Amino acid sequence: MKTRVLTGITTTGTPHLGNYAGAIRPAIEASRQPNVDAYFFMADYHALIKCEDPARVARSRLEIAATWLAGGLDVDKVTFYRQSDIPEILELCWLLTCVTPKGLMNRAHAYKASVDQNTARQVDPDDGVTMGLFSYPVLMAADILMFNAHKVPVGRDQVQHLEMARDIAQRFNHLYGQGKEFFVLPEAQVDDEVATLPGLDGRKMSKSYDNTIPLFEGGSKAMRQAISRIVTDSRQPGEPKDAEASHVYALYRAFATSSQASAFKAALEGGLAWGEAKEALFALLDDIVAPMRDRYAQLMADPQQIEDILQAGAAKARRESAELMGALREAVGLRQPS
């Protein structure tokens, strides 16, 4: 049996190095393995939870799709689609919502973070919390369970969502399976080296913290400028640096070979100036990203080509999602067994 690998990216911003190293790169690598069947998608329903700007959602979807393709995704081998082209995902989301305990969602990190912020501001704990944000993990479970994914390459921030998807799958199997397992229990696949790629300020690199290094936007000039803004300590040139505590090193290590990383670490410990260290990081990243930039620019100039690829992917995905939904409607009693 083939291993199913699936992952998605929310279409709310410009793809950054964290998305690339945490999800796109490992997913594309996994999709090239023999005996792997891969499903990658643009999570645009998820985008609506965080973003009420239609133009931004549309632009981001194009940029993220172009990034996957520029990164070397083989559309003949991988099923590549837009979440909102698969209406069965929303129908499955409802079936799963009906078996998901509210208490499970109360524990979700994103929801708890909003509650904590509101409590600190001494306002209603649920101020500004929509039902979309609250039940976000159920929609994510529907994405994953719809295609019975075994492995889900993600950054560490998504691991809790994967645990919830397993809980929900188990509950559904138990309630409706009658000896049959409708859903595979998915596993998160996290690369330890890049589990949480730091941003310019050392917090997780994230669109919401505005601390990202863009992959393509602004070209190599913008990448160099962003790198020059990485926060470092005040040690002077010649003074030994604590590589393990530095974000410059963490970023370097996530993209370098192990021998490059050890040489860089030794240079930092030997007193390499931060300015030179940042130049070395830029050279490493630019070498990796430059070959993809042209392809990205060509794709961005031809949105119809991307649309055609996504439509073909959706048609392929729907053959499967429609069949599974048929069986699930029968299992829960919405239709007579055929």
| Contacts with ligand TYM, residue ranges (CB under 6 A) | 6-10, 18-19, 22-23, 43, 46, 140, 143-144, 152, 154-155, 157-158, 194, 196-197, 204-206
Q: What is the DSSP string of 279-319?
A: HHHHHHHHHHHHHHHHHHHHHHT-HHHHHHHHHHHHHHHHH
Instruction: From 320, 312, 311, select the one nearest 88 (Cα to Cα).
Output: 320
Residue 204 is labelled as binding a ligand: yes
Residue 10 is labelled as binding a ligand: yes
Residue 18 is labelled as binding a ligand: yes
Alpha helices in 121-197 (DSSP H): 131-134, 136-146, 159-176
Of 151 and 272, which CB lies nearer to ligand TYM in the complex structure?
151
Residue 77 is labelled as binding a ligand: no
Structure tokens, 46:
């998820």
Residue 197 is labelled as binding a ligand: yes
CB 201 within 8 A of CB 211: yes
Of 119 and 208, which CB lies nearer to ligand TYM in the complex structure?
208
β partners of residue 4: 37
Of 166 and 204, which CB lies nearer to ligand TYM in the complex structure?
204
Residue whose C-beta lies closest to ligand TYM: 22
Of 204 and 272, which CB lies nearer to ligand TYM in the complex structure?
204
Of 19 and 79, which CB lies nearer to ligand TYM in the complex structure?
19
Residue 183 CB, shortest distance to ligand TYM, in Å, is 14
323: Cβ contacts below 8 Å, ≥ 6 apart: none
Residue 76 is labelled as binding a ligand: no
Instruction: From 172, 194, 197, 191, select the one nearest 183 (Cα to Cα).
Output: 172
**Which positions make up the binding site?**
10-12, 18-19, 143, 155-157, 197, 204-208
**Which positions make up the binding site for ATP?**
10-12, 18-19, 155-157, 197, 204-208
